[in-house]
């Protein structure tokens, strides 16, 4: 298949917008479209003009400026009982500022009978008319064959006649949709093969549109390609209703790096993939999926001790592609499972080149294991690990010390007679030989502590102002019989420049565990920025 | 393929434990193993005895009691230069309390040359000896063929001779591993086919072990099964290092409902799938993936309009399987009707038979929606839901009221000059027209509050003495732009009779959220036991 061209059709802005909790503004749509265009996606489906005010603007006054992609509007074939010229839905579609239109129509006889309730022959006319009118109006028409696979399994002749109608009416692409997402890869491959070889639609006019309801959307898309289809519809990060659509972010590198296809994505632009994927999550205010294929933060993480020494000898031993190809990077993880070679590799990553024979190394390995058993999950908190390691190697300056704290949380009646809850924290922080004694309020005890510590630290270390707490989690480590439950607190901090780090604390007292994680976070920031300790 | 048996091998507790952020305690492992056993998984791989103290206990004093599954230990084949009888690793494995062992060995010539650095023939002896010794010691041996597909692509003869060595030495299962996760479904199908038909290992002795690095782990496992393999290794929810392992939760229903295979999961137990999947997330303090195939909360969600009326006519129009089959349920996002029938069903479950025309019902539906939006995940806290519903229906007595509280956490030097942290809580609780003013210490603020509330309540309601807090979790609800982060506290309580219930609280203040969950827990206990409110 080497060198053959696969066309990529993104529907993040239409099918992806069906995801629960996803609601794109026009500004979001413009930014996402520009990212898709920059990456090299061939078709960008922007939405459904006429369906809502956002899409009306996006296909009107606020249409995006694209360098390469074909901006595409989605809609339905004409309604029964009207001509294409008199259908207001089609008119809206044809007036949209776009270069192609994609129209969905029925191909499952059951839906024609029950949902449309028209004779099956009339449905074929609907498809023919609409495709021909769209081609005339916009130059390029695509047909989305809804429920094609479910329809084909029950009535192959009728389903095939529907897609042939679209093909014969001039559709540039006939897109076979697995609308309910229940079809398996081997079924997709067989049916697409039949469409090409028995029903005479050439592969370079056929597209595939899959959903992830059996976790096979990517494999289903690849199966269709193997059977001849040359366009794939999907979304960024597999966004989409129910279980999502086929994930273009996973498909693109597989097609290009493993199957030898060309796409609109230039080889040198494949490195944008991680960035484009994460930018979408950022826009949706979601934590990116660490485990995402190719682009996840953990996609090239190595944990087991055995693996790590081998990876260092030759990355191809344990990595299916070079992470940089897709703009990602390797990550070495530390934990209980890790041996000495993990820890050495981590130390090297943080710029500490320790002699493997160094006597401090086994002590550090033992310490990590001990603390892991005590609940310090260092693989979740790389900054706390770095501090532990550097302290053990004698390389962390004494920036400050939190000597004492006193936190109160009170529910009481305020002057207006309302029941309110207030938190206040008092801290004594030693910086050099000065002790700062500060107090602050917060909307909870950890917030109050954070505020009080900032008051104590910021005059000496103004860089701390740039640090924000972006996540806080608590888990009780399962108490074994007879021991007290131990909360483990995990804090994620973000710097002004967008970099993030995680720190943790473990104590029977949740407030103490929180202070431990907070102290680590500030210390890490100061250490990382090379700040000199003050006195 | 109808009726043929597929064996399921779960490695959540070993390969799944390699996931970043995942760190199972022995108690976690026991609970997960019991869930897997209840579901009907054939093999449960518990870990690697000898690798860490947790796994030593789990294969020793704390080994789980399983009704059906084969409890399996993982380890390596013997080291070069030692006999199987003199290998301390193998000895540890054979002494483990388990009924089978699975040993990993090399099959990629490159790894034999570079990582093991021994003659290739010697590697075959390692495999033969180890498998034979394991079979003799434990009765059942499995061989995990590491990097099999990468090895086979480069040197099919050598890779095949490695797995044949294991097969001939008596391995019950030879498991072909796509260790780096880079192999595609069509390659897996071809290679497994060759192993069966050219290299003479029958499918009912072959297993498959896939990783999700190209988002194809499920499809790869299915491809191997289509080529003849009859065992699948995978994890719950696709847990696993990097991008995860093959997701058994997605595979089981596909195998049973769509491909006609039998597994160890009885048809009537398939309905446990959603519960088992979500219990793991709960244990990991992770939000379950709403979009997970089959079991995600959104997997059978329908947005308004067209779909909903069609779904109501005939669910098969828009659903690839009936959600109840896997213990999930349909969710109609915009329809009040669905909310109402869900809630009616839950009210019936708690013994409240409400007339569907009851005027209080739409109010309750609205209230649940509102609170759900505010972060009250009532799905995870059935006791708090029951209290909400009964309160709305006017059926919860006023047992007591927590009017005010005051909690302090202090790190200070004690009389011996040691730095200690102490928590103290003062509460004012109204019972009837009396106010109890009590104070107590605790090893953390929530413990102190709990102790103080018990002091206030137990003389009037001695039944509360039987209630223990067994779990406490906090998650920050994703802040939307401009809002403060909101901790959600989930408390699990256990009664003297072993029954358990969950309650929750949401507030910007973690202490207030905790009191809300505590108050619900005691109130639920009193309500459930039919205690009369006192004054």
Residue B104 has pLDDT above 70, yes or no: yes
CA distance linking residue B106 with residue A352, whole number of Å: 33
Which DSSP symbol is given to A5? B
Structural domain B353-392+466-535, CATH architecture: 2-Layer Sandwich (3.30)
Angstrom distances, CA of residue B348 to CA of B351, B355, B400? 5, 10, 27
Nearest to A215 by CA among B18, B323, B248, B40: B248
> Does the CB of A285 have a partner CB in chain B at under 8 Å?
yes
Number of H-type helices and E-type strands within chain B: 17, 16
Are A323 and A299 within 8 A, CB to CB? yes
Chain B residue with the nearest C-alpha to that of A312: B115
Find the helix or strand (DSSP H, E) in which A207 lies: strand A206-209
pLDDT at B337: 46
What span, in angstroms and rounded, lies between the C-alpha atoms of B144 and B127? 10
Q: What is the largest CA-CA distance in chain B?
A: 86
- Nearest-angstrom CA–CA distance, A192 and A206: 9
Question: What whole-number distance in Å separates Cα of residue A272 and Cα of residue A69?
Answer: 16
**B76: enclosing H helix or E strand:** strand B70-76
Architecture of domain B400-460: 2-Layer Sandwich (3.30)
Q: Just give the CATH number of A401-528.
A: 3.30.160.270
Shortest CA distance from A299: residue in chain B: B242
C-alpha span between B296 and B300 (Å, rounded): 8
Residue A93 has pLDDT above 90, yes or no: yes
How many helices (H) and strands (E) chain A has is answered by 17, 16
Answer yes or no: is pLDDT of B482 > 70.
no
**Is residue B277 less than 8 Å (CB to CB) from chain A?**
no
CA distance B146 to chain A (A): 11
The Cα of A486 is separated from the nearest Cα of chain B by a number of Å equal to 10
The answer to whether residue B481 neighbours chain A at the CB level (below 8 Å) is yes
Mean pLDDT, residues B264-286 taken together = 92
CB contact under 8 A, B319 and A212: no
Banded model confidence at residue A141, pLDDT cuts 50, 70, 90: very high
**What value does the mean pLDDT of chain B take?**
90
Alpha carbons A468 and A460: distance in angstroms, whole number: 18
How does residue B395 score in pLDDT terms, banded at 50, 70 and 90?
A: confident
Cβ distance B475 to A480 less than 8 Å, yes or no, reads: no
What is the band of B334 on the pLDDT scale with cuts at 50, 70, 90? very low
Relative to beta strand B100-106, strand B70-76 is parallel
Q: CB–CB of A213 and B110 under 8 A? A: no
pLDDT at A274: 95
Chain pair A-B, CB pairs under 8 angstroms:
307
Task: Read off the pTM.
Answer: 0.76
Query: For chain B, what percent of residues have pLDDT higher than 70?
Result: 93
Res. A173: pLDDT tops 60: yes
Does pLDDT of B483 surpass 80?
no
What residues in B contact A511, CB-CB < 8 Å? 409, 421, 423, 444-445
Question: Nearest-CA distance from A412 to chain B in Å?
Answer: 5
Residue A470 burial class via C-beta count within 10 angstroms: exposed 0-12, middle 13-18, buried 19 and up? middle
More confident residue, A386 or B534: A386
Q: Does B439 touch chain A (CB under 8 A)?
A: no
Cα B455 to Cα B304: distance, rounded to the nearest angstrom: 51
- For residue range A120-134, list pLDDT tens digits in order: 999 999 999 999 999
Nearest CA among A309, A355, A258 for reference residue B186: A258
Query: B238 to chain A: which residues are within 8 Å by CB?
Result: 215, 291
* pLDDT of B243 over the 70 cut: yes
H-type alpha helices, A175-238: 185-197, 217-226
* Res A474: pLDDT: 82
Better-scored residue on pLDDT, A173 or A284:
A173
Taking the CA of residue A173 and the nearest CA in chain B, the distance in Å comes to: 24
Instruction: Scan residues 36-55 of A and list those with Cβ closer than 8 Å to B.
Output: none
Task: Tell me the shortest Cα–Cα distance from B443 to chain A, in angstroms.
Answer: 6
Confidence of residue A482 (pLDDT cuts 50, 70, 90): very low
The strand pairing partners of B431, in sequence order, are B434
pLDDT attached to residue A222:
98
Higher pLDDT, B105 or A339: B105
Chain A positions touching B404 (Cβ under 8 A) are 410-413, 419
pLDDT at A1 over 60: no
Q: For B345-356, what is the mean pLDDT? A: 81
Which strand (E) or helix (H) includes residue A406? Answer: strand A401-413
Write out A420-488 in H/E/C secondary structure. Answer: EEEEEEEEEEEECCEEEEEEEEECCHHHHHHHHHHHHHCCCCHHHHHCEEEEEEEEEECCCCCCCCEEE
What residues of chain B lie within 8 A of the CB of A226, using their CB?
186
Q: Which of A285, A296, A379 sits opposite B21 (nearest CB)?
A: A379
Tell me: pLDDT of A149 over 90. yes
Selected residue of B58, B61, B228, B291 to mutate for chain A interface (largest A Cβ count, 10 A)? B291
So what's the pLDDT on residue A355? 86
Q: Among B219, B300, B321, whose Cβ lies nearest the Cβ of A216? A: B219
**Residues of chain A above pLDDT 70, percent:** 95
> Same CATH fold, B353-392+466-535 and B7-265?
no
Q: Which of residues 166-185 of B touch A (CB under 8 A)?
A: 179-182, 184-185
Task: Please name which of A504, A491, A486, A473 lies closest in space to residue A384, comparing C-alpha atoms.
Answer: A504
The CB-side HSE value for B100 (13 A sphere, CA atoms) comes to 19
According to the model, what pLDDT value does residue B284 have? 85
User: Token pair of B89, please?
Assistant: 């690793």
- Nearest-CB residue to A379 (from B20, B411, B412): B20
- Range name among A413-417, B230-234, B325-329 with the lowest pLDDT average: A413-417
A333-355 pLDDT tens trace:
765 555 777 788 888 888 888 88
- Per the CB < 8 Å rule, is B511 touching A421? yes
pLDDT of residue B307: 56
Nearest C-alpha neighbor of A176 from the set A385, A9, A38, A360: A9
As given in the structure block, the two tokens for residue A182 are 């229940």
Beta carbons of A478 and B25 less than 8 Å apart: yes
Task: Tell me which of A261 and B290 has the higher pLDDT.
Answer: A261
A140 touches chain B (CB under 8 A): no
Cα B21 to Cα A312, A506, B215, B280, distances in angstroms: 23, 15, 20, 14
- The complex's ipTM? 0.77
Alpha-carbon Rg of chain A, whole angstroms?
29
Q: Tell me if chain B has a CB within 8 Å of the CB of A282.
A: no
- Chain position carrying tokens 């609940």: A375
Q: Which residue of B has its CA nearest to A224?
A: B186
Residues in chain A closer than 8 A to B473 (CB atoms) = 474-476
Residues A346 and A353: their CA atoms lie apart, in Å, by: 10
Q: With contacts defined as CB-CB under 8 Å, which chain B residues touch A254?
A: 184, 214, 216
Worst-scoring range by mean pLDDT, A159-173, A499-513, B212-226? A499-513
Radius of gyration of chain B (CA): 28
CA distances from residue A131 to A103, A171, B470 in whole angstroms, order as listed = 8, 6, 63
First to last CA, chain B: 69
Chain A hits for B243, Cβ within 8 Å: 291-293, 296, 298-299
Answer yes or no: do B215 and A406 touch at CB < 8 A: no
- pLDDT tens string B335-347: 344 467 667 777 8
Check CB contact under 8 Å for B213 and A293: yes
- Measured in whole angstroms, the distance separating CA A323 from the mean position of its chain's CA atoms is 17
pLDDT of residue B486: 77
Residue A282 to residues A400, A494, B305, Cα–Cα distance (Å): 34, 13, 30
Contacts A244 to B, Cβ<8 Å:
291
**Could you tell me if B533 lies within 8 Å of chain A, comparing CB atoms?**
no
**pLDDT greater than 90 at residue A187:** yes
Q: Does A414 touch chain B (CB under 8 A)?
A: no
pLDDT at A139: 96
Residue A471 has pLDDT above 90, yes or no: no
Q: Which pLDDT tens digit goes with each residue over B302-316? A: 764 455 556 666 777
Q: What's the gap between Cα A55 and its chain centre?
A: 24
Q: B351: Cβ–Cβ under 8 A, 6 or more apart, which residues?
A: none
- Name the one residue in this structure whose structure tokens are 């038979």: B353
CB A49 within 8 A of CB A56: yes
Determine the Cα–Cα distance for residues B383 and B399; give it in Å rounded to an integer.
Answer: 16
State whether A215 and B485 contact (CB < 8 Å): no
Put simply, the answer to whether A406 touches B409 (Cβ < 8 Å) is: yes
Taking CA atoms, what residue in A is nearest to B227? A186
A 10 A CB-CB count for A517 gives 27
* Token pair listed for B287: 């939000």
pLDDT at A480 over 50: no
State whether residue B43 is helix, strand or coil. strand
d(CA A29, CA A377): 39
Phi then psi for A242, rounded to 5 degrees? 55, -105
Long-range contacts of A83-88 (CB under 8 A, 24+ apart): A83/A129, A84/A129, A84/A130, A84/A132, A84/A133, A85/A133, A88/A50
CB B15 within 8 A of CB B241: yes
Q: What does the alpha-carbon distance between residue A372 and residue B53 come to, in Å, rounded to a whole number?
A: 11
Whole-angstrom distance between the N-terminal and C-terminal Cα of chain A? 68
Contact between chains at B25 and A321 (C-beta distance less than 8 A): no
Per-residue pLDDT tens digits for B112-131 = 998 889 999 999 999 999 99
- What pLDDT sits at residue A307? 66
Mean model confidence pLDDT for chain A: 91
Question: Considering chain A, what percentage of its residues have pLDDT values greater than 90?
Answer: 68
Task: Determine contact, residues B71/B102, Cβ cutoff 8 Å.
Answer: no
* CB-CB under 8 Å, B421 with A511: yes
In sequence order, what are the beta bridge partners of A473? A490, B475
> Over 50: is that where the pLDDT of A80 sits?
yes
Q: How far is A410 from chain B (nearest CA, A)?
A: 4
Average pLDDT over residues B202-229: 98
d(CA A485, CA A478): 7
- Chain B residues in contact with A321 by the CB 8 A cut-off are 182
Among A residues 359-388, those touching chain B with beta carbons less than 8 Å apart: 369, 372-373, 377, 379-380
Tell whether A310 is within 8 A of chain B (Cβ): yes
Q: Is the pLDDT of residue B177 over 60?
A: yes
Domain range summary for chain A, segments of one domain joined by +: 7-265, 301-381, 401-528
Mutate to test the interface with A, among B56, B402, B444 (most CBs of A within 10 A): B444
Q: Which CATH class is domain B7-265?
A: alpha beta
> Which of B27, B294, B407 is nearest residue A409 as measured by Cβ atoms?
B407
Which are the contacts of A184, defined by CB distance < 8 A and separation ≥ 6?
Answer: A214, A216, A220, B222, B254, B258, B259
Instruction: Identify which has the larger pLDDT, A263 or B419.
Output: A263
Q: Does A292 touch chain B (CB under 8 A)?
A: yes
Name which of A173-187, A196-210, A216-230, B289-303 the model is least confident about: B289-303
Output the pLDDT for position B535: 65
Residue B88 has pLDDT above 80, yes or no: yes
Q: How far apart are CA B52 and CA B32, in angstroms?
A: 19
Q: Which among A301, A411, A446 is the nearest to B404, CB-wise?
A: A411
Contact yes or no for B294/B328 (Cβ under 8 A): yes
Q: What is the pLDDT of residue B335?
A: 39
Q: Give residue-wise pLDDT tens across range A52-77.
A: 888 999 999 999 999 999 999 999 99
Distance CA A157, CA B97 (A): 59
Task: Give the Cα separation of A278 and A297 in Å (integer).
Answer: 10
Higher local confidence (pLDDT), B481 or B404: B404
Of B52, B402, B469, the CB nearest to A337: B52
Question: What is the band of B417 on the pLDDT scale with cuts at 50, 70, 90?
Answer: confident
Quickly tell me which residue has 């004054």 as its tokens.
B535
CA within 13 Å, CB half, A202? 6
* DSSP type of residue A170: T
């Amino acid at each position: 298949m080497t060198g053959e061209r696969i066309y990529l059709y993104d529907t993040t802005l239409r099918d992806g917008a069906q995801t629960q909790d996803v609601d794109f503004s026009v500004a979001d749509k413009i930014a996402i479209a520009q990212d898709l265009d920059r990456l090299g996606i061939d078709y960008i489906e922007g939405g459904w003009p006429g369906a809502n005010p956002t899409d009306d603007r996006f296909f009107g006054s606020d249409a995006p400026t694209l360098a390469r992609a074909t901006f595409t509007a989605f809609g339905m074939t004409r309604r029964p009982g009207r001509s294409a010229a008199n259908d207001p839905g089609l008119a809206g579609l044809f007036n949209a500022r776009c270069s192609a239109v994609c129209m969905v129509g029925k191909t499952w006889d059951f839906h024609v009978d029950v949902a449309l309730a028209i004779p099956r022959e009339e449905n074929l006319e609907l498809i023919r008319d609409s495709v021909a009118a769209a081609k005339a109006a916009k130059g390029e028409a695509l047909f989305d064959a809804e429920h094609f696979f479910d329809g084909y399994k029950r009535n192959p002749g009728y389903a095939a006649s529907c897609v042939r109608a679209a093909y014969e009416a001039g559709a540039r692409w006939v897109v076979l949709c697995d609308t309910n997402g229940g079809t398996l890869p081997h079924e997709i491959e067989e049916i697409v093969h039949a469409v090409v070889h028995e029903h005479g639609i050439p592969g370079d006019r056929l597209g595939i549109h899959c959903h992830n309801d059996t976790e096979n959307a990517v494999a289903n898309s690849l199966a269709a390609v193997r059977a001849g289809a040359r366009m794939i519809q999907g979304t960024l990060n597999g966004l989409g209703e129910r279980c999502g659509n086929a994930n273009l972010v996973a498909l693109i590198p597989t097609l290009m790096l493993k199957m030898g296809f060309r796409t609109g994505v230039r080889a040198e632009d494949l490195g944008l993939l991680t960035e484009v994927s994460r930018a979408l999550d950022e826009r949706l205010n979601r934590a990116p999926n660490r485990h995402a294929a190719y682009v996840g933060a953990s996609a090239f993480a190595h944990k087991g001790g055995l693996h790590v020494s081998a990876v260092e000898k030759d990355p191809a031993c344990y990595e299916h592609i070079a992470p940089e190809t897709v703009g990602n990077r390797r990550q070495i993880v530390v934990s209980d499972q890790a041996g000495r070679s993990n820890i050495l590799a981590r130390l090297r990553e943080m710029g500490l080149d320790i002699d493997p024979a160094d006597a401090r190394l086994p002590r550090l390995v033992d310490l990590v294991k001990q603390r892991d058993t005590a609940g310090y999950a260092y693989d979740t908190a790389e900054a706390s690990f770095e501090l532990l390691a550097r302290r053990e190697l004698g390389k962390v300056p004494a920036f400050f010390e939190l000597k004492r704290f006193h936190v109160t949380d009170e529910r009481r009646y305020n002057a207006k007679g309302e029941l309110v809850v207030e938190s206040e924290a008092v801290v004594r922080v030693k910086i050099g030989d000065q002790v700062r004694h500060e107090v602050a309020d917060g909307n909870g005890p950890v917030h109050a502590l954070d505020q009080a510590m900032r008051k104590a630290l910021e005059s000496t270390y103004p860089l701390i102002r740039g640090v924000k707490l972006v996540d806080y989690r608590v888990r009780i480590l399962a108490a074994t019989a007879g021991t007290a439950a131990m909360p483990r607190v995990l804090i994620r901090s973000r710097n002004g420049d967008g970099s993030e780090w995680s720190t943790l604390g473990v104590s029977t007292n949740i407030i103490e565990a929180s202070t431990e994680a907070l102290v680590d976070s500030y210390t890490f920031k100061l250490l990382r920025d090379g700040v000199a300790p003050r006195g």
